[in-house]
Amino acid sequence: MSDLSQIVKAYDVRGTVPDQWDERAAEALGAAFTQLLNSTDEPGDAVVVGYDMRATSPGLAAAFAAGVRAEGRSVIEIGLASTDLLYYASGSLDLPGAMFTASHNPAQYNGIKMCRSGARPIGQESGLAEIRERAQALLDSGDARPAGAPTRPAERRDLLPDYAGYLRKLVDLSGIRPLKVVVDAGNGMGGFTVPTVLGDAALSPLPLEIVPLYFELDGSFPNHEANPLDPANLVDLQRAVVEHGADIGLAFDGDADRCFVVDERGEPVSPSAITALVAARELAKHPGSTVIHGLITSSAVAEIIREHGGKPVVARVGHSFIKAEMARTNAVFGGEHSAHYYFRDFWFADTGMLAAMHTLAALGEQSLPLSVLAGEYERYIASGEINSTVVDQAAAVAEVREAYPDAVADEMDGLTLRFPDGAWFNLRASNTEPLLRLNVEAPTRDRMVSLRDDVLDRVRR
């Protein structure tokens, strides 16, 4: 019997299949999700369900849909989808939704990202804990589906062309200079969405020459993990950009809601620089607006937002927190160090594709190479995220705090310490794994390396 406390995380469901959960658990989660919707008078009488390319995704999605239908709501099945395509469906149809994906996790994992109508997030504090409790009760009673419950219908819809057309209206790429773009889909859902959005599979051609890497949908990830946050998974893209003389490289994660960028030299462009670049573009269209940035983004992000007349607001790491803060402040845009990018024009939801299109537009609207353009938004030296497995995480964090008594502390999300010379670091526990995550930034490389190594030494001993 599944112990749902092991797989229901801070803002989604994630675990190995069938060891930690299976189709019976998925059906119970579908029923529990619908019970929550019904108890809170969620508008509409249907739920949108999509899934990624993992071998277990269609079966889990079908079982979840059975639970939804048994609890009195119909299902709109959109089939294969990126996570932001599911958010488009939820937003445009004004219906709650569920996306079956484990994002960048290895092949044996799967999960669910759930949202209310209008792509509004569901996390532990906004319904996910209640869904877990309801679903566990169903599993414990032996009835994932209520006996004799009426079964509502299911309807299949293809929303990929509508999604692509909507994104193209938000960012017009038709007039940019020709660009050669290498795209590494990592055998994930980018291989499904990129040909329609950036190619000419369904819409008018754009001045883009797409060089595809690993577009074949394969949830076993035969080439590399679909996790661009790990530098090892960018190597093929970096090599291809240089070999093809491309202007830019794009790497999507497994469910294609995150996008990483590589410049013409094959060098990664930090998500903080992309956040600042997109923020400047959105503020040009919406002067004076609020822009959300994650706690771990570069100090340059807030500086650039202010320089462009915007109002920077910091938020905790995690999409449910960012989305809630976006809605609260009516922010025009939000960005995180993990390459999640959120847009008011996209129901405050995250879409790697739209961030990629903004980057292509910024590059194609002028003649500078991407390395020079991105350099305008890079002001500090960052370590990137470094993970350490620690048995007693609280004790390790407390020891680190005591080691720097003169630093200014912030405990919004983990421990952030800021120093008078502009250096800072954040040390926080992972929401999904038994790890402490460290991010360090400083005005110089020597200062960053010194601070990084000192903190890691204290954490790991």
What is d(CA 167, CA 202) in angstroms, rounded to the nearest whole number?
13
What is d(CA 430, CA 123) in angstroms, rounded to the nearest whole number?
15
Which alpha helices (DSSP H) does 393-444 contain, by range?
A: 393-403
Beta pairing partners, 15: 110
Q: Any catalytic annotation for residue 103?
A: yes
Beta pairing partners, 229: none
Tokens 């009516």: give the residue: 330
Among 2, 57, 90, 103, which one carries the catalytic annotation?
A: 103
Query: How many residues are recorded in the chain?
Result: 461
Paired sense of beta strands 154-156 and 109-116, if any: unpaired
Packing angle between helix 299-307 and helix 271-285, nearest 10 degrees? 20
Instruction: Tell me the backbone φ, ψ of residue 3, rounded to 5 degrees.
Output: -100, 100
Please classify residue 227 by burial: count the beta carbons closer than 10 Å to its beta carbon, then call 0-12 exposed, 13-18 middle and 19+ buried.
buried
Instruction: Tell me the backbone φ, ψ of residue 212, rounded to 5 degrees.
Output: -85, 140
What is d(CA 424, CA 426) in angstroms, rounded to the nearest whole number?
7
Identity of the amino acid at 292 = I
Nearest-Å Rg of the Cα atoms of the chain is 22
Sequence-distant (≥ 6) Cβ neighbours of residue 290 within 8 angstroms: 310, 311, 312, 313, 329, 330, 331, 332
Q: State both tokens at 367.
A: 């003649």
- Residues marked as catalytic: 103
